[in-house]
Amino acid sequence: MRLNRFLTVAILAVVGLFMLSCSGTKISGENYKVKNGMIVFDEPERAPGQQTMLGYAAEPIPVVRIAFVGIGGRGASAVERIVHIEGVEIKALCDLEQSRIDKSNAFLEKMGRPKADGYTGPEGYKELCERDDIDLVYIATDWVMHVPVALYAMENGKHAAIEVPAAISVEECWQLVDTSERTRRHCMMLENCVYDFFELTCMNMAHQGVFGEIVHAEGAYIHNLVDNWREYYNNWRLDFNQKHRGDVYATHGFGPVCMALNIHRGNKITHLVAMDSKSVVGLEKARDIMGAETFANGDHTTTLLHTIKGQTIEIQHNVYSPRPYNRLYQLTGSRGFANKYPVEGFTFVKGWLSADIHPSAPNTWEHGFISKELQSALLDYYKHPIHKEIEEKARKVGGHGGMDFVMDYRLIYCLQNGLPLDQDVYDAAEWSCVGELSAVSAANNSMPVLFPDFTRGDWDKLDGVKFYGIQE
């Protein structure tokens, strides 16, 4: 009798363990669980004394003293752009390679600027951050170093601006949010595509309801990096992609559509699902360059996201296949449609647009693009005030046609005038976390993943995207 009971308990325990392993253990990572058929990442509570950074404005800084960490391809071009902004001083340059510091200093001298102090070595950024004559640390290292440098900068009282993606994991995203909230220092991701001329104009149109109700948006980073792989310092990018599945570079496509849809300013992403192709070209490159026999990042990754307002967003990543450059950028509304790549165009229902825009504006056709003449009038009519102010100079200074300069200009302008920044730490976290979330969904047969709320419930406290100092 006793033996029977023992056997029953043992069998039940084994069955229970088996069921547990089927339902949860296989797909539970260290920082997420499966709840009701959905992957749910841990969301740390806000520590006592820590406050939201929504709408946060720091004290004005009339002359912004900047230090650059990482002056490879991207960092060096940032130095070259920023000298064209009034009221900045470049105090320090940090890189693993002394020759890169020397090159940027030679540029500063050529521009009649004082040489900046150089810092080198893997931890040279620490000494730089500990200085008391720096306001902003501008970070353009490889992805793995973004968060360690940004955290150290904020802990030492500096604002942090970080190249894209700001962070490489959900946990790192929370670290940025928590450190920014605790130290009251800005942490902005340098998402330049938000400021591109077509995107910013469409954002303006979206906010004014020109597309009617937006139901779907698309964005992408489709850029064959065949000519670039060997340029990244120490092969950091191919090395990262070799180890990481998912959309590891989502922010250029995702950021601009989040801005158009007012994400965490009255709207929020609820969940996502992702699917990736096998790796073919990526694996070939890794075999060739690294001698690797595996490659985690699929050649093509697609992520679908949903908003609380019932909209869908599709984001794609492909840096391998022979294809023309494409960031998609599409907005589909109940009355109109915008498309950036591969052909810029708009569609509107007949009679929707006002003749104030152009005499032909009410005569649109909902099956095709509007005429180029009307398109040009439309883009002019809805040009964003930021572009009205700075477009000419931005196009002259350049940086992806000028959008990079618009971004730098806005960052410095807001710091100088003590205004909230256009992109806050929650944007940095939301746009960057797609990397790990899409990887986890793809690895689990496209299981839905609950999208973390980095604002901790405050996503509807702000009423739409606002770029301060311009639209007030």
Q: Can you give the binding site for ligand NAD, defined by CB under 6 A?
A: 69-75, 94-97, 100, 122, 124-125, 140-143, 145, 163-164, 192, 232-233, 236, 400
Q: Tokens at residue 42, please?
A: 């841990």
Q: Tokens at residue 348, please?
A: 């509107």
Q: Which is nearer to ligand NAD, 148 or 418 (CB)?
A: 148
Strand partners, 41: 32
Q: Which is nearer to ligand NAD, 71 or 442 (CB)?
A: 71
Q: Which is nearer to ligand NAD, 85 or 450 (CB)?
A: 85
Q: Which is nearer to ligand NAD, 138 or 295 (CB)?
A: 138
Q: Which segments within 190-282 are labelled E, that is strand?
A: 214-222, 269-276
Nearest approach, Cβ of 428 to ligand NAD (angstroms)? 12
Nearest approach, Cβ of 298 to ligand NAD (angstroms)? 19
Nearest approach, Cβ of 293 to ligand NAD (angstroms)? 25
Distances (CA, A) of 298 to 30, 155, 248, 435: 23, 37, 10, 13
Nearest approach, Cβ of 407 to ligand NAD (angstroms)? 8
Nearest approach, Cβ of 76 to ligand NAD (angstroms)? 8
CB contact set of 282 (below 8 Å; sequence gap of 6+): 241, 242, 295, 297, 298, 299, 320
Strand partners, 330: 218, 339
Q: Which is nearer to ligand NAD, 139 or 378 (CB)?
A: 139
Nearest approach, Cβ of 30 to ligand NAD (angstroms)? 25
Distances (CA, A) of 392 to 83, 197, 388, 414: 17, 12, 8, 20
Is the preceding omega at residue 342 within 30 degrees of 0, hence cis? yes
Q: How far apart are CA 66 and CA 126, in angstroms?
A: 15
Contact 441, 449 (CB under 8 A): yes
Q: How far apart are CA 399 and CA 192, in angstroms?
A: 9
Q: Which is nearer to ligand NAD, 230 or 287 (CB)?
A: 230
Strand partners, 318: 222
3-state SS, residue 326: strand
Q: How far apart are CA 342 and CA 324, in angstroms?
A: 8
Contact 270, 442 (CB under 8 A): no
Q: Which is nearer to ligand NAD, 181 or 199 (CB)?
A: 199
Nearest approach, Cβ of 126 to ligand NAD (angstroms)? 10
Contact 406, 194 (CB under 8 A): no
Q: Which is nearer to ligand NAD, 262 or 432 (CB)?
A: 432
Concatenated DSSP letters of 117-181:
EEE-STTHHHHHHH-SS-SEEEE-S-HHHHHHHHHHHHHTT-EEEEPSSS-SSHHHHHHHHHHHH
3-state SS, residue 322: coil
Q: Which is nearer to ligand NAD, 276 or 408 (CB)?
A: 408
Nearest approach, Cβ of 236 to ligand NAD (angstroms)? 6
CB contact set of 321 (below 8 Å; sequence gap of 6+): 222, 224, 281, 299, 300
Residue nearest to ligand NAD according to CB distances in the complex: 72
Nearest approach, Cβ of 380 to ligand NAD (angstroms)? 26
Nearest approach, Cβ of 286 to ligand NAD (angstroms)? 17
Q: Which is nearer to ligand NAD, 181 or 191 (CB)?
A: 191
Q: Which is nearer to ligand NAD, 75 or 333 (CB)?
A: 75
Nearest approach, Cβ of 102 to ligand NAD (angstroms)? 12
